[in-house]
Structure 1
Amino acid sequence: MNKFVKIVGAVAIINIVARFFGFLREMIIGFQYGTGHISDSIFTAYMIPNFLYLVVGGAFTTVFISIYNREATDKGLFVKQSYTIVVVSAIIMTLIGMAFANPILESFNTGKAVSEDQMALTRNLYLWMMPSSIFLVLSSWYSGLLNVNQRFHLSSFAILFYNAIFLVIAVVLSETTIGPMGYGISALVSAVLMVYFLVIGYRKLDSFKVGFSFKHNVSTKELWIMVVPIMLGGATIQLYALLQRYVAGLLSLEGAVSSVNYASKLMQFPQAILITAVTTVIYPILSHKEAENDHASIKSLYSKGLQYLFLLLIPVTIYSYFYSTNLIQVVFEYNKFDAKATAITAPVLAVFVLSMYFLAANTYITRFYYAKGDSMAPVIFSLLNVFGVNIGAIFLLVGSTGVVSIAWGTLISSIVNFIMLIVYASFKYDLKMGIFSKDLQFFRAMPPMIIITIVMYFSSKYLVFEYKWITFIVGLVIFSAVLVGSFLLFGVKEVKEFSDKLKKKFLK
């Protein structure tokens, strides 16, 4: 068990570093191009390839692992069959994306006056980046192949390798006469190199050969049946991103696209790290307990996981809300990203961060639905909220809040989705979160949250200094002290247990 925990910890650390490089790329784009049309073009061009990578690649990989691990599967044949399906599917989708480049890109700029030069830059970036979709989807499949062979570190390191190479090549090329087109070239080159890295790693295993096979059997039929609902179920965050980009394109406000991108990426950074840490550790345990029909442990894991997410993300949400302007200044406000860009981006971030807990909790709860064999309920809830509540809220509020309406749409729809998931899980599977269970630990955390909110409000209002980094450091120190102090004062069980473990470790 200790070995397993160490492996999970190492993989989690690699994922955090990989995400840091990806976020650093966003920071550098802000440094180089601010919130102007160039940064808008880069983000727009990369959106579709990234969508295919995360949604299509992720779905194919999940289904591949599921079918591969079955005893009845002819593993050698299935490796070739799934490889063929993934490659052909990725090529077809990429060709369609490139063939319809103009209408796709124009749809993201409806309502905005875009010059021919600006459109040409976006199109050229898109045509460079779109072919990377083939290699990104294929790399996701290879990662699954490595994972079923217990090579978790290698598949995780590939993402780190990709983000680091993408960043280095893009920065070097963009500082030459190539300019922003360097990001398009870098997207394709880094994707190719990532696949090469994974191929070399897999060949060293001397396992089943990878190749083409157009033979159809039960395994390929099941792959197609399973991949569509998983694709829809795993696309929530990416669908939000696509709709956010589309609505931002409808607004005439300059910098709307970039401000939404910067704010959402900054919001997703702590959320993604924390949800990865929680689900990576708890989900394998959940799967094991479900196989044993240990319903008592499953209920405990459900409530405990939501409680941990609450304790981790709500304080971060409070801090980020009151220090949204300072965070944008510290992270992005350099060179071309000026005070005007901060003024546009900070209000968007302030609302976005309010959805952190709900987005993370929704991801966590759906794991329990999947473990129960129920993939349709979370898909239906997700589609209703992303395309119904989300869009309705945006267009209802866009007249009064402008670009911030996009963040409001995400917040309101994620809350409604959260309510649907917990209510259905409570009645269908008797799964209850802390507030509805007999566990009083949830309520012990409420007074600290109130104290943190009050202190952060006053510190963000009255402890603002001329130098942004002093404001940031002072705010962070106060937040850390109040967070730990209030949790210990009110005897929050999880924090007390962690504190006791640290004392035992350092007092040995």
Structure 2
Amino acid sequence: MTSTVSRVASRLGGSGKVAAGIFSSRVAGLAREIAVAAFLGNGATLDAFSAAMKIPNLLQNLLGEGVLSASFIPSYARLLAEDREEEAGRLAATVLSLLVALTGALVVLGVLGAELLTDLLTPGVSGDRRDLTISLIRVVTPGIGLLVVSAWCLGVLNSHRRFFLSYVAPVVWNVTQIVALAVGGWFVFDAAVSTQGTSVINADARGLTLVLGWATVLGAALQVAVQVPQIRRLSPGIRLRFTIDGPVREVISRFVPVLGARGVVQLSAFLDQLLASFLVVGAIGALRYGQVLYLLPISLFGMSVAAAELPAMSAATSQDAAAAAKAIRARLHRGLRRISYFVVPTAVAYVAAGDVVVGALLQRGEFSRANTLQVWAVLGGYAIGLLGATSARLLQSALYGLGDAKLPARASIVRVVVSSIIGVLLMFQLDRVGVGPDGLQVLGDLPAFGPLPPAVREAADLPRLGALGLTIGSGIAAWVEYWLLRDRLQRRVGVIHHAGGVLDQTLAGALAAVAVTVVGRLLIGDLPPLLEAMVVLPLAGVAYLLVTKQLGFPLARAVSGRPPARSAHGRRATGPPS
């Protein structure tokens, strides 16, 4: 597998290196979630940990990678391209100084205001879950500054076209948590089991979860440490400074609207968690597991392509308007083709065989078959908008490269509104649907216009599907945002074809993979989840590769290492002219 990743990465250039780094970190992230599921299952302790981690995740995303990519990288990369390395170094140093000061203040506020934050983030929880959430927020919040500094390192390294290290660095963060869980769970807190279906948290479960929280802080420090040596080689003169000159003002002017756009997206995640706190115990944890798998293809294929293309699209704007539009349009089509080749089959697999994926990864220890079905449903809702959400990353980068940061902010607001309205309409209905040994069971009166009583939510006997309503809203809203971004870009650079013009080829391959999956599952019968996945998923992958190769998809050649058939239909697979 490593050789295949390396070969594809070398063929795809910068985006391939980003994808290879993200692939490594995401594999480590999946391993972390496997450990979390085995030791904590999907109950009250996981709800508390997931809620507490929203604070560092929020500020990392607000002040970190996304905002820096849109505001800092274009200016820093342009200074490097113009051989103004001294000015670039001063810009990087000032941005780092401002981030350290801002995050330091936010860390203090987070620690002191842990109780208020808990009540704001999860107003529907009480008792042991609330107490543990407060303690965890105080533990994990100091890691915020470290994660933001790591994102700054990513911005500097990407601008110097050093794509791999910054994206593989989170492996250290994940491994630290895995080690903490293994040592704590096996040797210290041997009774740390999650009481499924109730809000009871025993002493060992609380202790192990707090150890996991401290491990996130240590892991963040190590994540920064592995990037520092290369940063010092590339920019040896960086020192903390607070001089606001022209390039810094340019970054700040972009920073504010981009921060607004990212803030709206993060507000959506907070609203999902806030709403999930009014659902049955386990809803917050189900969202967490579903998001891990949902964000995997977005990170691998959306972020990798968008991150690699942003510096080039920013540089293209230095040409005349017609040449810039043509160059950006060509890069968009190439990027969208790469994204669709991997994301379309992933989304279809999540809907058609998500239980195989979730079961193979998580179903062991404290994580039951009912939990698998619950997370599969949540993942299926996310999958509705997976291609739209992933493609939107690239479209946002194109707009940022063109200097347009306002439309992405407005599109994000629309996305949040649509997601919240649909989510609220569906979540209370689906929270009356339980996942039991005999399948789905309706447990309450329908239609429902409010949450279940607190006593029922805190002591439900079966996992519920309320979180599915939230992810369906998220999936539909992702397509709304995509259409708004695409419409604006088409006015700037010309016609942009969906999936770069190859949606029919990818869908044909994905449907073939689904057919193989269905037949394979019927033939092999009941197997343990991991064995079932090891048989069925590779066969589905081969079917997808063969069909897309026969249709002449260029990336099938990159993956297989052999030229595809060149039929008349296949020649169209390269997509529309730029």
TM-score under structure 2 length normalisation:
0.77
Pairing partner for 2:427 from 395, 398, 409: 398
| Residue 22 (str. 1) matches residue 29 (str. 2) | yes
Report the equivalent of 1:407: 471
SS at match of 1:179: helix
Pairing partner for 2:139 from 109, 128, 134: 128
Pairing partner for 2:56 from 49, 53, 72: 49
In percent, how many aligned pairs have the same letter? 19
> What is the rounded CA distance, in whole Å, between the counterparts of 1:174 and 1:496 in structure 2?
43
Report the equivalent of 1:88: 101
Q: 1:392 to 1:173 in 2, by over 3 A?
A: same
> What is the rounded CA distance, in whole Å, between the counterparts of 1:476 and 1:182 in structure 2?
35
Q: 1:462 to 1:346 in 2, by over 3 A?
A: farther
Farther off after superposition, 47-56 or 174-183: 174-183
Report the equivalent of 2:201: none
Report the equivalent of 1:418: 482
Q: 2:268 touches 2:420 (CA, 8 Å); kept in 1?
A: no
Q: 1:242 to 1:191 in 2, by over 3 A?
A: same
**TM-superposed deviation, 1:454:** 4.8
Q: 1:503 to 1:10 in 2, by over 3 A?
A: same
Letter of the structure 1 residue corresponding to residue 257 of structure 2: P
> What is the rounded CA distance, in whole Å, between the counterparts of 1:494 and 1:238 in structure 2?
36
Q: Residue deviations 1:332-389, cap 9 Å, x none?
A: 1111111232232221112222221111011111122122221111211111111x10
Aligned residues: 494
Report the equivalent of 1:263: 290
Q: 1:174 touches 1:180 (CA, 8 Å); kept in 2?
A: no
Report the equivalent of 2:208: 179
> What is the rounded CA distance, in whole Å, between the counterparts of 2:13 and 2:180 in structure 1?
33
Pairing partner for 1:479 from 540, 547, 565: 540
Pairing partner for 2:44 from 37, 43, 47: 37
| Residue 354 (str. 1) matches residue 384 (str. 2) | yes
Q: Residue deviations 1:206-258, cap 9 Å, x none?
A: 721423x344433443333221222233456644432222221121x121110
Q: 1:348 touches 1:407 (CA, 8 Å); kept in 2?
A: yes
Farther off after superposition, 477-486 or 339-348: 477-486
> What is the rounded CA distance, in whole Å, between the counterparts of 2:355 and 2:490 in structure 1?
39
> What is the rounded CA distance, in whole Å, between the counterparts of 1:444 and 1:159 in structure 2?
34
Report the equivalent of 1:247: 275
Q: Residue deviations 1:134-177, cap 9 Å, x none?
A: 22112222343444555544434433333323432344345424
Q: 1:311 to 1:503 in 2, by over 3 A?
A: closer
Q: 2:48 touches 2:133 (CA, 8 Å); kept in 1?
A: yes
Report the equivalent of 1:193: 222
**TM-superposed deviation, 1:392:** 0.5
> What is the rounded CA distance, in whole Å, between the counterparts of 2:486 and 2:14 in structure 1?
31
Q: 1:362 to 1:67 in 2, by over 3 A?
A: closer
Residue correspondence of structure 1 range 58-207 to structure 2 within 5 A: 58=65, 59-60=67-68, 63-68=71-76, 69-70=78-79, 74-75=87-88, 77-112=90-125, 114-115=126-127, 117-148=128-159, 151-175=162-186, 176-177=188-189, 178-204=207-233, 207=236
Q: Which runs of 5+ in 1 are unaligned?
A: none
> What is the rounded CA distance, in whole Å, between the counterparts of 2:284 and 2:481 in structure 1?
25
Q: 1:458 to 1:502 in 2, by over 3 A?
A: closer
SS at match of 2:470: helix
SS at match of 1:250: coil
Q: 1:342 to 1:203 in 2, by over 3 A?
A: same
Farther off after superposition, 264-273 or 147-156: 147-156
> What is the rounded CA distance, in whole Å, between the counterparts of 2:336 and 2:88 in structure 1?
37
Report the equivalent of 2:526: 465
Q: 2:360 touches 2:529 (CA, 8 Å); kept in 1?
A: yes
**TM-superposed deviation, 1:494:** 2.6
**TM-superposed deviation, 1:95:** 1.8
SS at match of 2:213: helix
Q: 1:267 touches 1:349 (CA, 8 Å); kept in 2?
A: yes
TM-score under structure 1 length normalisation:
0.86
**TM-superposed deviation, 1:457:** 5.0
> What is the rounded CA distance, in whole Å, between the counterparts of 1:326 and 1:454 in structure 2?
15
> What is the rounded CA distance, in whole Å, between the counterparts of 1:205 and 1:257 in structure 2?
42
Q: 1:150 to 1:208 in 2, by over 3 A?
A: farther
Q: 1:462 to 1:247 in 2, by over 3 A?
A: farther
Q: 2:64 touches 2:147 (CA, 8 Å); kept in 1?
A: yes
Residue correspondence of structure 1 range 366-377 to structure 2 within 5 A: 366-377=396-407
> What is the rounded CA distance, in whole Å, between the counterparts of 1:449 and 1:94 in structure 2?
45
Q: 2:47 touches 2:129 (CA, 8 Å); kept in 1?
A: no
Pairing partner for 2:415 from 385, 395, 412: 385
SS at match of 1:335: coil
SS at match of 2:281: coil
> What is the rounded CA distance, in whole Å, between the counterparts of 2:543 and 2:158 in structure 1?
41
Q: Residue deviations 1:314-334, cap 9 Å, x none?
A: 122112211112222111111
**TM-superposed deviation, 1:9:** 3.9
**TM-superposed deviation, 1:46:** 1.3
SS at match of 1:207: coil
Letter of the structure 1 residue corresponding to residue 344 of structure 2: I
Q: 1:300 to 1:62 in 2, by over 3 A?
A: closer
> What is the rounded CA distance, in whole Å, between the counterparts of 2:230 and 2:560 in structure 1?
42
Pairing partner for 2:254 from 211, 226, 229: 226
